[in-house]
């Protein structure tokens, strides 16, 4: 066995540890600085993610809680509290599903659309610009590629993600 192989074998766990610790730090800083950026609107990063998801064309008419939880990769239990707070602020509503009167769909209210389009979108854009300062377009594309690749690996490790959904995503 060569010295180069031994060195690579020793280095791999340290690099993995450093990478995952950086991801942990970045996630914590995203929550801290993202929430601070939207302080004036009393919106957390979790609420920001829900509001942003609800602006997607696919969810325009509303989305079931389970589908929204699956999209955001959170549990229904964690999402329920966030939805309750957003509903109390009149940013979202639960509407009857036209295809199934027993089901409810989550969608933005007029106030939620206004908050997102007129207030939050420019603040978020500025936040993104600052957080990604120094990253070229190519850097951003590469980062998305690598994070997508890692996300696929995480999904394969998650026993709660059905096998057919893992393969489809």
Between the CA atoms of 103, 48, 134 and 16, what dihedral angle is there, to the nearest 10 degrees? -70
The predicted structure's pLDDT at residue 168: 52
What CATH number does domain 10-131 carry, 3.40.50.720, 1.10.287.1260, 3.40.47.10, 1.10.10.10? 1.10.10.10
103 membership: H or E segment, kind and range? strand 100-108
3-class SS at 31? helix
* Dist. CA 42–CA 40, nearest whole Å: 6
Greatest Cα pair distance in the chain: 68
What phi, psi does 23 have (nearest 5°)?
A: -60, -45
Tens digit of pLDDT for each residue in 111-130? Answer: 999 999 999 999 999 999 99
Per the structure block, which two tokens stand in for 130? 């600052």
Please give the model's pTM, rounded to 2 decimal places: 0.83
Between the CA atoms of 35, 37, 38 and 39, what dihedral angle is there, to the nearest 10 degrees? 80
| Banded model confidence at residue 97, pLDDT cuts 50, 70, 90 | confident
Tens digit of pLDDT for each residue in 53-90? Answer: 999 999 988 999 999 999 999 999 999 999 999 999 99
Tens digit of pLDDT for each residue in 22-48? Answer: 999 999 999 999 999 999 999 999 999
């Amino acid at each position: 066995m060569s010295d180069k192989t031994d060195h690579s074998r020793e280095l791999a766990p340290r690099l993995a540890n450093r990478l995952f610790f950086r991801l942990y730090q970045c996630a914590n800083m995203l929550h801290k600085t993202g929430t601070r950026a939207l302080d004036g609107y009393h919106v957390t990063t979790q609420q920001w993610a829900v509001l942003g998801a609800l602006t997607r064309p696919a969810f325009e008419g509303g989305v079931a809680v389970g589908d929204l939880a699956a999209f955001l990769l959170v549990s229904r239990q964690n999402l329920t509290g966030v939805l309750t707070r957003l509903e109390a602020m009149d940013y979202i509503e639960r509407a009857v599903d036209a295809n199934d009167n027993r089901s409810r769909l989550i969608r933005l209210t007029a106030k939620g659309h206004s908050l997102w389009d007129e207030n939050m979108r420019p603040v978020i854009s500025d936040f993104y610009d600052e957080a990604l300062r120094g990253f070229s377009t190519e850097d951003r594309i590469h980062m998305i590629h690598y994070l997508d690749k890692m996300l696929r690996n995480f999904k394969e490790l998650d026993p709660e993600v059905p096998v057919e959904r893992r393969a489809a995503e």
